[in-house]
Amino acid sequence: MNVAIFAFCIFAAILEPCASVIISRCDLAKGLLDRGIPRHQLNDWVCMAEGESGRNTRAIGSMNSDGSKDYGIFQINSKYWCQGEKSIANICGLQCTELLTDLLDPSTACAKIVYSRHGFNAWYAWSTKCKYKDLRFYTAGCYFDEDMKNIVPPIWDAPINFTTDTEDKFYTQFITTFDSLPPEYELYSFQRSSYNCTTAISSTIWICYKYEFVFKRIVLPHVLLVFLPSALLVIISWISFWLDIGMGAPRVALGLTSLLTLSTQLNAAEAKLPAVATMKALDIWMFVCIFMVFSSLLVFGFSYACAEIKKEEENNIANQNRLPQQKRKTLRQLAYSVSLVSLQIS
């Protein structure tokens, strides 16, 4: 029994450094800030850690060409900075295996030494994935201690700008000043909840508050101002089908007027909507309406061309029927002239 327990402990000790622990971007940023990393460098540090190890605190890189390896979330090299494979120096003064821990203290302390001598260029991932790039999204949505002092909810441009000491005061003032919704929306439901979001790498106790808003779009204004007028314009364009085929000018004018009106209506509706790259239901509706009006013009053009062809054929047939009659009349006149000449001779 003791032998089995001893073997299990040895097996667990061997596997423990290999367990993968991925830290979220916000937790990593908070941990680095608590350990002296300047606020304006957090995006670079998080980007570098993500590029080097995928934010894995127990990552061990593959063997380099010189036989050394990289350890920890910041992939500290064993040749110069820690005691490990092919070490010729131990500038950080620690074993490389000490970097394989969920606590960021050893890795951060050693990484700060590396940064003080070589800057971020010491990490290849930072040079290829982070340098000269916009890194603000790496800590977007992360809230730090100083951020909790002045909370301005980012919901449109609501006139909410105050300092709060407690969340209850913030909640009360937020609800009483929440009155700047766009006119086409209404607040359908609202729910508040709180939970403990303290992490293992942070020494600060974090209480997170979650706000869930459900908005309902008011459909009636869109129906009255967009869908119904566009449908009426399409119906009006169909009036040209009841006009005589020869009335080309009014039929073309009616179709073009409807087409231009729909285009103007589409531009006015799009100006009130956010610019997105995806297809919206309004785009499909307006495209169908414009296509139907355009089709009515095509139908008129085709019908007018067919009518002209038919008219020309009828004229040709009439001319062909008229030609024999003219020939018979000419022969009768010729015969009459011949008879007169014969009488005169006799």
pLDDT tens by residue, the chain, 346 residues = 444 444 544 444 444 444 567 888 888 888 898 888 988 888 899 999 999 998 998 889 888 888 899 999 999 999 889 988 888 888 998 999 999 888 888 999 999 999 999 889 889 889 888 988 888 888 877 766 555 444 444 443 333 333 444 555 555 555 555 555 666 777 777 777 776 766 655 556 666 767 777 777 788 888 888 889 999 999 988 888 888 877 878 888 888 888 889 888 888 888 877 777 788 888 899 999 999 999 988 888 888 888 888 888 888 777 766 656 666 667 667 766 766 666 666 5
The pLDDT, as a whole number, for residue 113 is 92
| Cβ–Cβ under 8 Å, residues 104 and 96 | no
Q: Which of 37, 151, 39 is nearest to 74 (CA)?
A: 37
The pLDDT, as a whole number, for residue 48 is 92
CATH 1.10.530.10 in the chain, residues? 1-130
DSSP letters spanning 135-194:
-GGGSTT---GGGGTEE---STT-S--EE-SSHHHHHHHHHHT-----TTEEEEEEEEEE
The pLDDT, as a whole number, for residue 177 is 53
Specify the CATH superfamily of domain 220-315. Neurotransmitter-gated ion-channel transmembrane domain (1.20.58.390)
Task: Quote the CA–CA distance of 74 and 90 in Å, as a whole number.
Answer: 16
Q: Which of 322, 104, 79 is nearest to 199 (CA)?
A: 104
Q: Which CATH class is domain 1-130?
A: mainly alpha
Catalytic residues: 52, 70
Task: Quote the CA–CA distance of 301 and 275 in Å, as a whole number.
Answer: 37
The per-residue b/e assignment along 319-335, b for 16 or more CB within 10 angstroms, e otherwise, is: eeeeeeeeeeeeeeeee
The pLDDT, as a whole number, for residue 168 is 57
The pLDDT, as a whole number, for residue 169 is 58
Strands (E), the chain: 70-71, 76-77, 150-151, 162-163, 185-196, 207-217
Stated pTM of the model: 0.42
Supply 35's token pair: 């350990």
Task: Quote the CA–CA distance of 101 and 313 in Å, as a whole number.
Answer: 94
CATH 1.20.58.390 in the chain, residues? 220-315
The pLDDT, as a whole number, for residue 40 is 86
Task: Quote the CA–CA distance of 72 and 56 in Å, as a whole number.
Answer: 7
Find tokens 């060409």 and name the residue.
65
